[in-house]
């Protein structure tokens, strides 16, 4: 653990320094098009273990390995025909594929939490790409937030949660997509959506036809924990309770709006006045954080969230909001 977290500019010098820290086994948060990732050299077991410690994850929930190219990813996992089609269509981009791990994989087993599968992704963000090229190895990265908290979409969000616990954060401003990658499991029979995310489900279905929905290890853990409330983990959670499908705010509530709203609540965050789901996704996590802080300052009792359509990025937005609203 580092005492002081350096904020590095996302220029050539900053990227070189970030890559050197990663190669030396340190933790570095970096931007992707979805959210900031908490990176470690994926081939270094101790560095990967340090990710779990920094996030205080309750158990070893498997991590995504990030690569500069699809070819590099497919050195560590067997692509399968569907994996090759999805990679050709959506990489680089906000799509994660869960695939069988190759026996010769360079990625540490702990990165996949000891499973026979490994989640892999080639991010589209130019800074992430340059960093991955400079590191020259896979980089394991969950979202760069303490476990159970809202994912970070700015370097300041990262520092709010992890300052002093990681070596550095590479700062390139807000993440353009704003919700995490879409996760598709191709390792267990027919393709299966594990997590809606930055690639809309409609785009996947247009390529593959209808696909089923599964459950991520993280979600399985939550379900288990529902039966032992003391251990329950709610993910993407702000501190204030969240009320979904709200047409308006009660007097003691802050409001996360999507389009025009009635009245004048004391604290409002507008996701998109034009009801544009892409804009709303990019602003979602910042909005939750701001309302949480503002609500605490004003002594409000909760956050009311306007209804959001279940199409395009709305599926991912609603998934995250449902987690934020889950009992804890």
Contact pattern from residue 218 through residue 257 relative to ligand TXA, giving x for each residue in contact according to CB under 6 A and a dash for the rest = x---------------------------------------
105, 141, 249, 315: which one binds ligand TXA (CB under 6 A): 141
5, 26, 32, 172: which one binds ligand TXA (CB under 6 A): 32
Tokens of 178: 């704003």
User: In the complex with Mg ion, which residue's Cβ is closer, 149 or 283?
Assistant: 149
- 319: contact with ligand TXA by CB under 6 A: no
Among the candidate windows 10-18, 142-150, 223-231, 303-311, which touches Mg ion by CB under 5 A?
Answer: 142-150
- 181: contact with Mg ion by CB under 5 A: no
Q: 33 in helix, strand or coil?
A: coil
CB 234 within 8 A of CB 296: no
User: In the complex with Mg ion, which residue's Cβ is closer, 70 or 141?
Assistant: 141
CB 265 within 8 A of CB 253: yes
Q: Please, what is the minimum distance in Å from the beta carbon of residue 35 to Mg ion?
A: 8
Tokens of 142: 């969950």
Q: How far apart are CA 145 and CA 235, in angstroms?
A: 11
143, 172, 182, 270: which one binds Mg ion (CB under 5 A): 143
34, 153, 154, 270: which one binds ligand TXA (CB under 6 A): 34
Phi, psi of 112 (to 5 degrees): -95, 15
Q: How far apart are CA 22 and CA 138, in angstroms?
A: 10
Q: Could you tell me whether strands 242-243 and 302-305 are parallel, antiparallel, or unpaired per DSSP bridges?
A: parallel
- 50: contact with ligand TXA by CB under 6 A: no
Strand partners, 38: 29
Cα maximum dimension of the chain? 61
Residue whose pair of structure tokens reads 């991010």 in the numeric block = 123
CB 144 within 8 A of CB 79: no
User: In the complex with ligand TXA, which residue's Cβ is closer, 96 or 270?
Assistant: 96
- 26: contact with Mg ion by CB under 5 A: no
Q: Which residues of this protein are in contact with ligand TXA, per CB under 6 A?
A: 32, 34-35, 37, 61-64, 94, 96, 98, 112, 115, 117-119, 121, 141-143, 180-181, 183, 185, 194-195, 216-218
């Amino acid at each position: 653990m580092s005492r002081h977290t350096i904020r590095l500019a996302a220029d050539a010098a900053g990227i070189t320094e970030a890559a050197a820290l990663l190669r030396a086994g340190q933790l570095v948060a970096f931007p992707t098009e979805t959210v900031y990732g908490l990176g470690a050299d994926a081939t270094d077991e101790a560095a990967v273990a340090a990710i779990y410690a920094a996030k205080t994850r309750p158990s070893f929930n498997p991590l995504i390995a990030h690569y500069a190219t699809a070819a590099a990813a497919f050195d560590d996992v067997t692509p399968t025909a569907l994996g090759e089609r999805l990679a050709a269509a959506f990489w680089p981009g906000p799509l994660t594929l869960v695939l069988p791990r190759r026996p010769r994989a360079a990625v540490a087993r702990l990165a996949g939490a000891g499973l026979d599968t490994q989640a892999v992704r080639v991010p589209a963000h130019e800074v992430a790409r340059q960093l991955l090229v400079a590191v020259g190895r896979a980089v394991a990265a969950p979202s760069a937030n303490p476990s159970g908290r809202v994912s970070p979409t700015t370097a300041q969000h990262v520092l709010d949660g992890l300052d002093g616990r990681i070596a550095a954060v590479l700062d390139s401003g807000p993440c353009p997509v704003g919700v995490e990658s879409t996760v598709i499991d191709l390792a267990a029979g027919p393709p299966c959506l594990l997590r809606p995310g930055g690639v809309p489900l409609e785009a996947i279905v247009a390529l593959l036809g209808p696909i089923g929905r599964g459950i991520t290890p993280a979600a399985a853990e939550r379900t288990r924990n529902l039966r032992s409330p003391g251990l329950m983990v709610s993910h993407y959670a702000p501190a204030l309770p969240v009320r979904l499908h709200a047409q308006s705010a009660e007097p003691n509530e802050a409001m996360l709006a999507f389009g025009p709203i009635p009245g004048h609540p004391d604290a409002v965050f507008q996701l998109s006045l034009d009801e544009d789901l892409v804009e709303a996704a990019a602003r979602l996590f910042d909005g939750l954080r701001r309302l949480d802080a503002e609500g605490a300052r004003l002594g409000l009792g909760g956050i009311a969230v306007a209804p959001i359509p279940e199409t395009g990025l709305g599926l991912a937005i609603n998934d995250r909001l449902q987690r934020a609203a889950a009992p804890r």
